[in-house]
Structure 1
Amino acid sequence: MLAITALPCGLVIGLLLGALGGGGSILAVPALVYLLHQSPHEATAGALVVVGIGAASGLACHARAGRVRWAAGAAFGGLGTAGTFLGSRWSAALDPTVLMTAFAGLMLAVAAAMLVRTWREREKARPAGRDEPGQAPQRTPAASPALTARLVSALRIGATATAVGLLTGFFGVGGGFVVVPALTLVLGLEMPVAVGTSLLVILVNSVTAFGTRAGAGGLDWPLLASFAACAALGSWLGNRLAARVRPQALSTAFASLVTVLAISMAVTSIPRL
């Protein structure tokens, strides 16, 4: 029965990973805890297996389409290694109730960030309005020196990569909801390429985080294998869905689902603190 329950959960997680380059992994921990009866610490470790396999499946599809920047993704994932290690250590030492309460807060933050990003993309897609009569034309600010710009960009990349690694290690999530905007804004990648490259970053972070927990026992490997296989299939389907469904509509529906789940988790966890 647990394996049957894992099927739709894994498909949804993989679907979102393949279509959006992230986000679906945020559902893995609640699914493992509340539907598959894993402890919070087992769930955050097991989610890394599910997310890693789902990301690998989606990465293969995007790579065949030429939507992966291997050097940028590997460098971004490598920069987050220290954060991943620290996050894994802190998560193992945290009380399970506190961990789930913090996870509910993370889910609300993710939902808000995705809604804001969707709103901004819709605003950019609207036709630009004409200048009002008598209104002075906007001036483009002078470009900063090349050396300063590169230094600022490097610091932003390092800080973002470390934060993503910390989230992956602490909560067992891939961090694609942070990686995709970072790759578009900081590295200037187009959205389809950022989605494909983010899966490489998620894979690197998931493998690193799981490596720090390899000695922890208690994982239900047959259950995780079923879950991960469905995530891999869903990721393949999500890659195809991305070309047919507007990402904004998918992001809005996903953010609404995450908000409902986060509120439910908070209502369950906060009274136990």
Structure 2
Amino acid sequence: METVTVYTGAFFIGLILGLMGGGGSILTVPLLVYMVGLHPVTATAYSLFTVGTTSACGSFKNYHKDNIAIRTGLIIAIPSFIVVYITRRYILSAIPDTIILSGKYSLSKDTFIMMLFAFIMLMASLSMLRRKTENDNNDIKKINYLYALPGIAIVGLFMGLVGAGGGFLIIPMLIFFGGLNMKKAVGTSLFIIAINSLTGFIGDMQTINIAWDFLLSFTVISVFGIFAGTYLHRFVNEKQLKRGFGWFVLIMAAFILSKEIIGF
């Protein structure tokens, strides 16, 4: 029964990525930590591979539908994947197992990662629940690096630390700094997430033992999910889907925080 739940979760990871251009990794890490029992650092590495491969497949379909702004995507992807690689290869391994030890209070590396992950989920949920004005035209404007570069670095840092947080940080950036409409922003987001995630996973391959049998089977199911999500995207009410998933992510963030802080 647990195996069925895990692989059903893998399908929904791809489904959410296909529907929304982000959010798949928000399900991946909690699923791998709490259902499969993986160490948080390993779970974030598996998340990068699964989400990266699944996003690459979704990007291929969106490219043929002319829903990817390649130049804009590369402008964001190149600096952010450099930060992702550096974070996974050097920064994450440099964080001590016990970050804070003061009297009865201690903060371990695992707890820090999961709490940071919950914080990103909280920010993602608020961005989905907040009403935004979207750009409906097809014009692509030049990205102002002065404003965009700090956000790009933050995207890379968050993805590197927790294997997630890309989509809901990237999509607003593509809309407001890149001038893309929502459909193009979703497709371009998948393209950027694929590059960032797989680059980050390359850094992990040098430091983590990978259980390829499980990881590949989990990823294949997720790929089926993104094909289903890409197909269903044309039929769903995007605003209602966004708000519904926003509330789900908010509940998940509260669950992780209660689990890590008070052991609920």
What TM-score results when the alignment is normalised by the length of structure 2?
Answer: 0.86
Cα distance change on mapping 1:237 and 1:121 into 2, 3 Å: farther
Contact 1:5–1:36 under 8 Å retained in 2: no
> What residue is the counterpart of 2:84 in the other structure?
84
More deviation in 77-86 or 98-107? Answer: 77-86
C-alpha displacement of 1:51: 0.3
Q: List aligned pairs for 1:162-241, cutoff 5 A.
A: 162-173=153-164, 175-241=166-232
Contact 1:26–1:173 under 8 Å retained in 2: yes
> What residue is the counterpart of 2:132 in the other structure?
120
CA RMSD for the aligned pairs?
Answer: 2.1
Q: Does 1:104 align with 2:104?
A: no
C-alpha displacement of 1:174: 5.5
- Distance between the aligned counterparts of 2:133 and 2:244, measured in 1? 15
- Distance between the aligned counterparts of 1:2 and 1:51, measured in 2? 21
Q: Which has the higher contact order (CA 8 A, sep 6+)?
A: 1
Contact 2:128–2:242 under 8 Å retained in 1: yes
What TM-score results when the alignment is normalised by the length of structure 1?
Answer: 0.83
For 2:207, the aligned partner's letter is A
> What residue is the counterpart of 2:15 in the other structure?
15
For 2:241, the aligned partner's letter is L
Larger CA Rg, structure 1 vs 2: 1
C-alpha displacement of 1:238: 0.9
Question: In the TM superposition, what whole-angstrom CA distance separates every residue of 1:171-192 from its partner, at most 9, and x where no partner exists?
Answer: 1015011111111110101111
Contact 1:174–1:205 under 8 Å retained in 2: no
> What residue is the counterpart of 2:55 in the other structure?
55
Structure 2's unaligned 5+ residue stretches are 97-108
- Distance between the aligned counterparts of 2:193 and 2:165, measured in 1? 5
| Sequence identity percentage | 31
C-alpha displacement of 1:81: 2.8
C-alpha displacement of 1:37: 1.1
Contact 1:11–1:231 under 8 Å retained in 2: yes
Contact 1:107–1:259 under 8 Å retained in 2: yes
Question: In the TM superposition, what whole-angstrom CA distance separates every residue of 1:203-262 from its partner, at most 9, and x where no partner exists?
Answer: 110122112111123332222112111111111111111110011111111111111111
C-alpha displacement of 1:121: 4.3
For 1:100, the aligned partner's letter is M
- Distance between the aligned counterparts of 1:73 and 1:188, measured in 2? 12
Aligned length: 245
Structure 1's unaligned 5+ residue stretches are 126-148
C-alpha displacement of 1:157: 2.4
> What residue is the counterpart of 2:99 in the other structure?
none
